[in-house]
Amino acid sequence: MTAILAATGDFNGLAVAIFAVVLATTLLITRWAARRTKTTTEFFTAGRGVSGALNGVAITGDYLSASTFLGYAGLMYLFGFDGWIIGLAAMLSFLPVLYLLADRMRNAGKFTVADVLAYRLRRRPVRVAAAINTLLICGIYLTAQLVGAGSLIEALAGISFTPSVLICGAFMIIYVFFGGMLATTWVQIVKACMLMAAGLIVSVAILAKFNFSPSELLNQAAAQHEEGRAIVGPGTYLTTPALVISTGLTIFIGTAGLPHILMRFFTVPSAKAARTSVVWAISLIAIFTALVTVMGFGARAILGKAGETAVGEGGNLAAPLTAQSLGGGPGTTGGDIALALFSAAAFATILAVVAGLVLAASGAIAHDLWANFSSRVDDQSERRVARMAAVGVGATAIVACILVGTGFNVTVLVSMAFVFAASANFPPLILALTWRRFNTTGALVGVTVGIIASVVMIVLSPPVWPGPDSQGSPSSLTFPGLVTIPIGFLACWLGTILSKRVPEEEAGFDELLVRSETGIGAEGAAPRRTRRAAGVATPRREPVA
């Protein structure tokens, strides 16, 4: 089994060649998209012409980041069942998205989450607060993904950390800068298909090895684990009740508050299409969740104890190494091809997810900050600012990654992004859509307190206090949502009831309610005003996807 070690970290010509093919494909997509990205609406929302089904595939792509695809399988390899809870929670979070947000966001919003809030709350402060949330969540998540990308490509293809980050970062900026949402969406769709195919093939191959008997697979996995049978039940990774519930809740609510996923609902032509896209996403993600179970336990059954060092910290390489082993093992042609193909799917994943994050952050800067304060706003200048913001955000993340490198603790970064999304972003959004009395003060207090509580709880948690992986930290919760989500809601509520009633904001609730329920005044698939402002005399095409 030592050969597994030798197979990672060396220069892998085949993997690099397939990476190059992936990059070339995405560049072609971007060139095609760039010609169709002329207005700001096209830049941020692909002209609202993405069909429900395709948007659903793209949402699946957003959900299937490297941490989902490789991370969950890796956690299951290391800890068994407990590694699966996070994946289940993230899948289920699409139910609140469908029931409470998807079609209502599509009806009431334009480019960003803040558009929905601005109908009824004071425009300037609430946009600033929403922009801060988006930038924090996307910036931190982006950094986590890039650091992960660097280590992963280093291990899989043998390209060292800095050039790996530079390549990923440069390409994500190119997609967003030239191709906007249309390029990001199609890169996401291509990648989601690659991942589903890779996951399906590996899972079927694993099951075939165990005569398609889940029981036999689990037996072998348990036999290969120190904890034995315990890995098919809870308690090996999330060791206390508070840890189980808090982690599950944070991911469940947090995924529903991720700006780059919510932004996807602005790309479809109608509220119905927004719902269709969530149904597609839930279906695909449910299938994928089942596949991850097979891959996670399969990795344990096939790689065994001997693979524990080779899969790396967090077990990220468990799935690719399992693919390699199924192909014939390290050193064989089949094994090399399987590893290279699987790695290419992982590589595509990172590229697509980081592009979506950059786009959401650029929307926050251009639409919520710049257009909010600048006196001269037109379609062209907003688009220019958005492109500059994309470059700025991307470059900042790249520089941070290269300077700090693997000094970043990816677990802490991912945890922070989800805790912010769950505690500071989700509560004001839901309350604005459902509670008439809610006002601007409540939203601002909620966001501020939500962010502070999240930071405090993360600083007190084991990965940070007082040094990495320390014992005896004041809080045991790596994902502290159990504490911070109630605090976020409570702060919104207190801020509202302790401040004066604002009649015009409560009247604004009627407007938001009518708009979100009926779609009156919603932006159509062919936004006429934007075209006029851009000086386009005749419609060039009807974006019916």
Q: Which of these segments, 69-77, 239-247, 405-413, 470-478, binds other proteins (CB under 8 A)?
A: 239-247
**Nearer Cβ to other proteins, position 65 or 277?**
277
Cα 69 to Cα 74, 197, 288, 368, distances in angstroms: 9, 12, 9, 32
- Does the protein bind other proteins through residue 228 (CB under 8 A)? no
Which of 293, 362, 415, 439 is in the footprint of other proteins by CB under 8 A? Answer: 293
**Nearer Cβ to other proteins, position 166 or 279?**
279
- Does the protein bind other proteins through residue 520 (CB under 8 A)? yes
| Residues in region 139-198 near other proteins by CB under 8 A | none
In this structure, the number of other CB atoms found within 10 A of the CB of residue 308 comes to: 17
| Residues in region 104-123 near other proteins by CB under 8 A | 110, 115, 118-123
**Nearer Cβ to other proteins, position 24 or 223?**
223
Cβ pair 124, 117 in contact under 8 A? no
- Does the protein bind other proteins through residue 99 (CB under 8 A)? yes
In this structure, the number of other CB atoms found within 10 A of the CB of residue 404 comes to: 11
Which of 88, 391, 494, 534 is in the footprint of other proteins by CB under 8 A? Answer: 88
CA distance 158 to 312: 15
**Nearer Cβ to other proteins, position 78 or 350?**
78
**Nearer Cβ to other proteins, position 11 or 212?**
212
- Does the protein bind other proteins through residue 427 (CB under 8 A)? no
- Looking at this protein, which amino acid is placed at residue 511? E
The candidate with the shortest Cα–Cα distance to 349, out of 489, 501, 191, is: 191
Which of 128, 187, 268, 282 is in the footprint of other proteins by CB under 8 A? Answer: 282
**Nearer Cβ to other proteins, position 272 or 501?**
272
Helices (H), 175-328: 180-209, 214-223, 241-256, 259-262, 271-303, 318-327
- Does the protein bind other proteins through residue 271 (CB under 8 A)? yes
Cβ pair 135, 365 in contact under 8 A? yes
* Shortest reach from residue 108's CB to other proteins, in Å: 9
* Shortest reach from residue 272's CB to other proteins, in Å: 6
| Residue 317 phi, psi dihedral angles, 5° rounding | -90, 5
- Does the protein bind other proteins through residue 534 (CB under 8 A)? no
- Does the protein bind other proteins through residue 379 (CB under 8 A)? no
- Does the protein bind other proteins through residue 276 (CB under 8 A)? yes
CA distance 359 to 249: 27
What is the contact mask toward other proteins in residues 48 to 87, using x (rule: CB under 8 A)? ---------------------------------x--xx--
CA distance 201 to 515: 45
Residue 261, CB-side half-sphere exposure with 13 Å CA sphere: 32
Cβ pair 156, 346 in contact under 8 A? yes
